[in-house]
Structure 1
Amino acid sequence: MSVAVVGGGIIGLSIASRLVDNGADVTIFDDGEYGAWNVAAGMLAPGGEAAFETPALVRLMSSSAERWSSFAASLGVDVGYDETGTLSLAVTADDVAVAAREWPSPALRPSRLRELEPALSPRVRAGVHRPADCQVDPRRVVAALRERLGDRIVTKRLSTLDEAGAPTVVVAAGCGTAALTGLPIRPVKGQVLRLRGEPGLLRHVIEATVDGRSVYVVPRADGEIVVGATQEERSDWTVTAGGVHDLLRAAIELVPDLAECTLAETLVGHRPGTPDNAPLLGVLREGVVVAAGHFRNGVLLAPVTADLIADLVLTGTTDPMLDDFAPGRFA
C-alpha cells in the first residue's frame, strides 16, 4: 500500500512509523521547518488537563498516556521518558482556592511538598502529587523517528495534496493543514524558555498557579529545564520581554534556585488549535485522512493517533474512539 504523509512533526512521523511497521510503502513530506514539538515540554499528564477538555478527549488522552511506555521503548533509544510524576502547586491563598477545585485529591501541606521537592520556595502554600504523570523529550522522540524512517523523508513544501502523488494521503501538517485542506486550524502562540542548571536540581515536573498565572517547570535528566508557556491568540514569532519576564518571575517564585541557571533558549511555537480545541482525526474525503489540530496535546496524543490513524488507513475501518473528532464536524 502506497501512502504519503504530509508533515514531519511528532504526529506525522509517529503515524508513518506505524504504517511502515505494518508493511506500507510510505513517503513523508516535511517542509523543513520546526513544528510545535520543538518547543513542547513533553508533559504526559492527561489528568492535569481533564478539567479543560471534553470527556471524549480525556478518554483519548488517557488511552494515549497508557501507550507511551511501550511507544518510547519501541524507539530503541533514550527519549527521556520519565515516570517520576508531577507536583501541582499553588502559591497564594487565591491560587489555592482556584486550584483546589481541579485537584484530584486533598492538598498536601507545604512541609510534605518540600520533602518531595526540597528546592521549592517556602511561599508555596499547597499542592498535590500526581505520581502517574510522566514526561518525554519531544526533540529526542522526533530525532529517533527521523532516524528510523531515514530516506523515506523528503524535504518539500507541498502547495496542493495532488503533489503528494499517492492514492492515500495523511495530512498531519499542524497549522499548515489549514492551507492544504481548508479546515479551521489556527496558530496559538506560546513562548517557552529553556534553562541550563545542575542535574538533579528538581526531581519532579511542576505545574503551578503563581499569583493567578499558570506556569510549568519541566526538568530533564541532563540539567535542562523547560519553563512555559504563554498562550496568545497570535501568529507572530516574536519573543517578548514581557513573556520572558512573566515566565521567569513565576518559575523563580516557585524554585528560587532557578535564578542561578543559564538562560539557554527563548523560543516561540504555535499550537494548532481548532474551534473546539480538539483534534481533527479521520477521513476528510476519499483518499485524504487528517490527523491535525492537537493544540496543547500533540506530544501526549502521538501514540494513540499513530495507532488509530494507521489502522484506519490500512483497514478502512474507523475506530469508535475517533467518532467525536471527525474532520467534517465543522462543515
Structure 2
Amino acid sequence: MRETLVVGAGIAGLSAAWYLRRAGHTVTVVDPDPGNGASHAAAGMIAAVSEVVHQHDAIRPLMLASAAAYPQFIADLEQTVGHPVSYLPTATLGVGATPGDVAAFRNLSDVQRAAGMTVEQLTVRQARRVEPSLAPGISGAFLVADDHQVNPRTLLGALAEAVYSPTGEGPQGRLVRRQVTGVLRDGDVVTGVHLADGRELQGDATVLCPGMSFPDIDGLPEAQCVRLRPVHGDILRARVKPGRPGLLERTVRGLVDGRPVYLVPRADGEIVIGATEREDGFDGVSLEGVHQLLRDAQILVPGAADLELTEIMARARPGTPDDLPYLGGVPGVDGVIVSTGYSRHGVLLAPLCARLAAVLASGKTPENRGRHDATLLSTTSLERTP
C-alpha cells in the first residue's frame, strides 16, 4: 500500500487526496490552516466558456476537459459523503452595461464559437425575461448554458469528509495541521517532508499543492522553474434579507465600462460578488476594489443595493508567467509531484488536475491513461517554455 503525502488542503490538494484514497493510497494531508486560502475566497464558477480569453488557447483544453468531468466528479462525491455539495447546473449570463461592453462580449463569442462552444446572444428584453432583476438600462446579454457553479466552501467540506471519514473508498486519510518547510531527500528521490515543529513525515510519494507558499518549501532547487506571482482579489459575500424574494437564479458575469464584475447566487440566498485582480503586493482588502464591485454590481442588478453585506475579504491567487498551472514531476527528481499555479481556475480545474496528479503519484506515466492525458500534461509540465 502506497503512503502518499499531500501538501495543501485547498481544492487542488483535497481533490487529489480523495482520488488517491479511492485508488487505495494511505493519504496524509498537511496544512497549517486547511481550507482557508484562495479556495476559501473563490466564487466557484465552473466557466470553461466564459473564462475564455483572447490568445490564451493553451489552457482551453484543460478547462473544457475538467468542466466535462464535473458532473461525474460531483455525483461520485455526493455518493461518497451521502449529501449534496451545493452544485448548481444553472446557466451563466454575460451582461454588457454599455454598447462597448456588448461589443467586447460579441468579439469574445466569436472566439468561443470558433472553438465549438455554445453562446447565444440575447436582446435586453430576452435577458430581463430570463433574469428580471437585471437593470433595464443594460445594453445586451449572452447566454452560456454550459457554465455552471459550485459553492467551494461546501465542496471543501465534502472533500475533507471524503478524505478523512472512516467510511468511503480506500484507507482513511488523516490531516496534520503543520507548516511544511522542506522536503526529505535520498539523493534524487523525495521521501517525505520536514515540518515546522521539527518532525518529519515519510511517504512513497509527495504531492505539493501549497499554492503561494510553494517557494517557502526548501530542498527542491530543481523546481526553480516554478515561478509564481500573487494575484490578489477582493471579493464580497452578501445575502438576501429575510422575507425577501431571491434576487438571481443564474450567475451574472458582467462588464461595466470594460471592468469585469460577477454575481454568483447560491441556493440559500447568498450572493458572491467579485472579484478584482491586482498585483500590488497588498494582502489586505482594497477600499477602491470594494467600492468598484459594489458600484458595478448595482449598475447591472440594482436590487443588489438591498442585500445584506456579510463578508469582505481578499486572497492571493497563485499566478504563473503564462497563466497555465504547473502539474507534473520535478525534472531529475522522483517521488514528488507539483500541482500549483491555478490562479482563478482552481475550482474549475479541480476534477481533471486532481485525477492527473493521482495518476502521477501512483507512479504511472501519462501514456498509461491515453494520449489525451499525455497531451494535457505536456501543457502543464514544469519543463515547458513559457
Same fold flag (TM > 0.5): yes
Structure 1 residue 313 displacement after superposition: 1.6
Matches within 5 A, 1:177-196: 177-180=214-217, 181=220, 182=224, 183-196=226-239
**Residue number in structure 2 paired with 1:210:** 256
Given the alignment, which residue of 335, 341, 349 partners 1:301?
349
For residues 118 and 38 of structure 1, the distance between their equivalents in structure 2, rounded to whole angstroms, comes to 30
- For 2:38 and 2:317, the matched residues in 1 are separated by 6
Who is 2:98 aligned against?
92
| Greater gyration radius | 2
Question: Which ranges in structure 1 are unaligned for 5 or more consecutive residues?
Answer: none
Conservation of the 8 A alpha-carbon contact between 1:215 and 1:250: yes
Note the residue ranges of structure 2 that are not aligned, 5 or more in a row: 114-118, 165-172, 185-193, 195-200, 367-372
Per-residue deviation, 1:159: 0.6
2:152 counterpart of 1:138: yes
Match of 2:168 in 1: none
State how 1:77-156 maps to structure 2 within 5 Å. 77-103=83-109, 104=113, 105=119, 107-150=121-164, 152-156=174-178
* Distance in 2, Cα, partners of 1:62 & 1:200: 31
> 2:41 pairs with 31, 36, 39, which one?
39
1:13-92 aligned at under 5 Å gives the runs: 13-32=14-33, 34-52=36-54, 54-76=56-78, 77-92=83-98
Bigger drift between 285-294 and 309-318 goes to: 309-318
Structure 1 CA distance, aligned partners of 2:62 and 2:356?
A: 11
Give the deviation of 1:52 after TM superposition: 4.1
Q: Please report the TM-score for the alignment, with normalisation by the length of structure 2.
A: 0.83
Residues 87-145 of structure 1, C-alpha deviations (whole Å, 9 max, x = no match): 00101122122221002446311000000000000111111101111100000011111
Aligned mates of 1:315, 1:166 — CA distance in 2: 13
Q: What amino acid maps onto 1:160 in structure 2? A: G
Q: Offset of 1:171 from its aligned partner? A: 0.3
Which residue is 2:338 aligned to? Answer: 290
Match of 1:159 among 176, 181, 196: 181
In structure 1, how many angstroms separate the alpha carbons of the residues matched to 2:54 and 2:26? 39
Distance 1:244 1:311 in 2: 41
What SS class does the counterpart of residue 87 from structure 2 fall into?
coil
Where does residue 384 of structure 2 map in the other structure? Answer: 329
- Alignment deviations for residues 25-74 of structure 1 (CA, whole Å, 9 cap, x no partner): 11110121511111110000101122246333111111110111111122
Separation (CA, whole Å) in 2 of partners of 1:54 and 1:123: 32
Mapped pair 1:264 → 2:270: no
Q: CA deviation at 1:167?
A: 2.9
Q: For residues 106 and 18 of structure 2, what CA distance do their matches in structure 1 show?
A: 41
Tell whether the 8 Å contact from 2:238 to 2:311 is kept in structure 1 after alignment: yes
For residues 160 and 226 of structure 1, the distance between their equivalents in structure 2, rounded to whole angstroms, comes to: 36
**SS of the residue 2:85 aligns to:** coil
Which deviations, in whole Å up to 9, do the C-alpha atoms of 1:185-214 show, x marking residues without a partner? Answer: 111100000011146310110001012211
Letter of the 1:220 partner, please give it: R
C-alpha displacement of 1:234: 3.0
CA distances 1:259-306 after superposition (whole Å, capped 9, x unpaired): 010110001011110111100011012111111101110000000011
Which secondary structure does the structure 2 equivalent of 1:142 belong to? helix
Residues 120 and 144, structure 2, Cα contact 8 Å, conserved in 1: no
Q: Partners in 1 of 2:258 and 2:137 — Cα distance?
A: 14
* 2:90/2:147 contact within 8 Å kept: yes
- 1:199 touches 1:222 (CA, 8 Å); kept in 2? no
Give, as a single letter, the amino acid of the residue that structure 2 aligns with 1:42: G
Q: Relative to structure 1, is the Cα distance of residues 293 and 53 closer, same or farther in structure 2, using a 3 angstrom cutoff?
A: farther
What is the identity, as a one-letter code, of the residue corresponding to 1:26? V
Which residue is equivalent to 1:176? 213
User: Is the partner of 1:100 in helix, strand or coil?
Assistant: helix
Q: What's 2:321 paired with?
A: 275
Q: Which residue identity does 2:251 align to in structure 1?
A: V
1:152 and 1:53 map into 2 onto residues whose CA distance is 42
- In structure 1, give the amino acid aligned to 2:152: P
Q: Bigger shift: 47-56 or 250-259?
A: 47-56
> Identity rate of aligned residues, in percent?
39
CA contact (8 A) 2:120 2:143 kept: no
Displacement, 1:148? 2.0
Letter in 1 for 2:6: V
For these two proteins, the number of residue pairs brought into alignment is 331
Separation in 2 of the partners of 1:73 and 1:140? 14
Q: Is the 8 A contact 1:199 1:221 kept in 2?
A: no
Task: Indicate if the aligned counterparts of 2:206 and 2:361 stay in contact, CA closer than 8 A.
Answer: no
- When normalised by structure 1's length, the TM-score is 0.96
